[in-house]
Structure formats: C-alpha cells, structure tokens
Amino acid sequence: MCCSGFLKIMMFVFNGGIFLAGAAILGVGVWVKVDSGSLLGLVEDVDGAPSGLSQLVNVSYLLIAVGSVLLIIGFLGCCGAVKESRCMLLTFFSIVLIIFLIEVAGAVVLLVFNGLADEILGHLEDDVKKSIGKQYGSSDSFTSLWNATMKEFECCGYKNYTDFDGSPFVTMHGGDIYPQTCCNATLAVDVCNTNNAYHSNIDGCFTMLLQLIEDNAVIIAAVALGIAVLEIAAMVVSIVLYKQIGSKA
C-alpha cells in the first residue's frame, strides 16, 4: 500500500515535469506563430529558395502539436494513477514510448545533418541578396520585416551593409544611404552612409542567427536530455504501477 502510494506520487512528479515541458514548448510555438518579425518569415520572400525550405515557417505548428501532446499525456498519466486505471496507464506508456522513439530518431538525424547548416545558409546567400536588391525599400512588408529583424538581432543585411547596394531604398536616397541599423550607435551619426557603415562593421543577420543557435546548443541539448529522462522515468513508474494494480485485481 505504501509502495503504491509512493508510485502515485512519483507519477505526479514525473507527469508534472512533462506537463510543464509541454506548456513551455506550446508557449514557444505560439510565440513563433504570432511573432511577425521572426526570421522564419524571411524565407517566404526569398526568390529562388528551395521549395522544401519554405516548410520551415510551419515549425510553430510542430511545436504547438508537440506541446499539446505532452500536455495530454501528462494529464493522462496523473488521471491513470489517481483512478488506478490500467487502460489509461497502458495508453500513457504507449504514447510516451512512441514519442520517445521519435525523439531519438530526430536527435540522430540532427546529429547527422548538423554540419549542413553553414552549407544551406551559403546556398541561400545569392537568393537573399537578390530579394533585398529588388524589394527592400519598394515592398512595405518586406522592408518592415527586415527592419524588425535587424533591430532585434542588431545586424545588417545577410552578410553586411553592401547587401543593400542597388536596392530601391539606397537608390532613392542618392545611392549612399543605408538602413540605420547598419551603423553602430557608438558612432553617434544621424545618417548611415557608406563610410559610417564600413567603420561600424555590423555582422550580417544570418551570421548572428547561426551564432545564436551555436551559443544555445548546450542549453537546447540539456533541455532535450531532461525531457528524455522524465519520459523514461514516467514509463518505468507507469508500467510498475500498472502491474501492481493488476495484481490487486
């Protein structure tokens, strides 16, 4: 009886962790979806970008789906323990096992293709520059999206300020004026021209994005490992509780 009560408490602890992880993932998914300044939106405006790459904009839906599933299984595990329902516990175990196997497969894929990030961004360079040259300053939505991105990441263009050469924005300003974000604020200049932009040496946005991902790789891996440990523990506790309930019946 004491052991059974302890297992129920363990189910609450582990499923509480899964529930919170699901809530966090769901929150990130909703944030990505509603954030109009997200870099994912830039993919849609790139001329000649691979058709498959445009599916990256749907990452928010994937996060929302994963978060929702984790919320459901967390709730299912708690209810199964409280009601001592073998059916609910077995369903909980099966769902968590399937998700765990998918996560392992996904981790393997990410490890295998991890080195392709630089190559993909390199292939996109020409297409992104062409889009900037055609649309920045002429398309309000494209211009606003780039401005929001450059302000958020404190970056300039794809590689640097020269990506804006020949764009409608630069042309209409006499061919020597660039977005203000391309000049370092420490220069204390009112106009970002060629000379100021050159001395500012602001990094490109995709370089900053790649650096951001690399800097947070350890955190992402730690979170993923933590979720995996919770899932394994929850499966072990649920199957033991499932057998105990069966023996009492």
Q: What is the pLDDT of residue 36?
A: 47
pLDDT in tens, 52-86: 444 555 667 888 888 888 888 888 887 887 777 88
pLDDT in tens, 129-139: 888 999 999 98
Torsional class of 214: left (φ above 0), alpha (ψ -120 to 50), beta (otherwise): alpha
pLDDT confidence tier of residue 51, bands split at 50, 70 and 90: very low
Q: What is the pLDDT of residue 42?
A: 56
Q: What share of the chain is helix, strand, coil (3-state, %, to 5)?
A: 80, 0, 20
pLDDT at 249 over 70: no
pLDDT in tens, 191-238: 888 888 888 888 888 888 777 777 776 777 777 778 788 778 878 888
Q: Which two tokens stand for residue 82?
A: 């409280």
Q: What is the pLDDT of residue 27?
A: 85
CATH number at 116-208: 1.10.1450
Q: Rounded mean pLDDT of 7-12?
A: 78
Cα–Cα distance for residue pair 197/182, rounded to 1 Å: 6
pLDDT at 167 over 60: yes
Identify the weakest region by mean pLDDT among 35-49, 144-158, 219-233: 35-49
Cα–Cα distance for residue pair 219/164, rounded to 1 Å: 35
Of residues 124 and 27, more confidence is placed in 27
Q: What is the pLDDT of residue 108?
A: 73
pLDDT confidence tier of residue 169, bands split at 50, 70 and 90: very high
Helix, strand, or coil here: 177? strand
Cα–Cα distance for residue pair 222/127, rounded to 1 Å: 35
pLDDT at 18 over 50: yes
Q: What is the pLDDT of residue 92?
A: 87
Q: Please, what is the average pLDDT of the chain?
A: 78
How do the domains of the chain map onto residue ranges?
2-114+222-248, 116-208
Q: What is the pLDDT of residue 54?
A: 47
Give Cα separations from 168 to 60, 175, 195 (angstroms).
Answer: 32, 9, 20
pLDDT confidence tier of residue 113, bands split at 50, 70 and 90: low
Contact yes or no for 82/49 (Cβ under 8 A): no
Cα–Cα distance for residue pair 44/55, rounded to 1 Å: 9
The CA dihedral of 69, 74, 80, 81, to the nearest 10 degrees, is 170
3-state secondary structure 12-33: HHHHHHHHHHHHHHHHHHHHHH
Contacts of 166 (CB under 8 A, 6+ apart): 133
Q: What percent of the chain has pLDDT over 90?
A: 8
